[in-house]
Amino acid sequence: MTEIITISVSHYIIAGLLLFLTGLLGTVISKNLFRILISLSIMFSGIIVNFAAFSAYNYSELHTGGIFALFIIILSALQTAVGVAFAVNIFKFKDNIKSDEIGEIRG
């Protein structure tokens, strides 16, 4: 019972893992590009939770895990911006945003 009540780093790791797996599942099975982008963001959020949990439970002055989490948040926003730009251009070519109908990428 005390293991359930006392929140330890393993609880955060499991939460992060579940978020990561949900995002991974969404990335694999989704065909809509927007859904893939959202699933990637959820994957990133699982990773962020893991980094922050390790940083909080293993305290150091450098806060390395927290800083890496900050960079991953920036990367997550960055991939959303780039992904939306690609989706818009793909929509210009194909008139839809389904990933399995994108057969070729021209330079």
Partner 1 sequence: MEIIYTISFYIIVILALLFAIASLLCKKTLYSVISGFVSLVMTGFLLISLGFSYLGAVQIALSCASSTILLIFTVLFIKNNNELKHNKNNIINIFLSVTGIIILLLTLIASLRSGFLYEIFNSVLLPFTVTNNSFSESLFINYGASFIFASLAFLSAVLGFGVILADKDVKGEDE
- Write out the residues near partner 1 by the rule CB under 8 A: 4-7, 11-12, 15, 18-19, 22-23, 25-26, 29-30, 32, 34-35, 37-39, 41-42, 45, 48-49, 52-53, 55-56, 59, 61-64, 66-67, 69-71, 73-78, 80-82, 84-89, 91-93, 95-97, 106
Nearest distance, CB of residue 85 and partner 1, angstroms: 4
* Beta carbon nearer to partner 1, 66 or 102: 66
Nearest distance, CB of residue 102 and partner 1, angstroms: 14
Nearest distance, CB of residue 69 and partner 1, angstroms: 6
Do the beta carbons of residue 77 and residue 49 sit within 8 Å? no
Do the beta carbons of residue 76 and residue 45 sit within 8 Å? yes
CA distance 3 to 19: 21
Give the residue from 72, 90, 58 showing the smallest Cα distance to 23. Answer: 72
Contacts of 35 (CB under 8 A, 6+ apart): 26
Task: Locate 46 and state its tokens.
Answer: 């699982």
Nearest distance, CB of residue 96 and partner 1, angstroms: 7
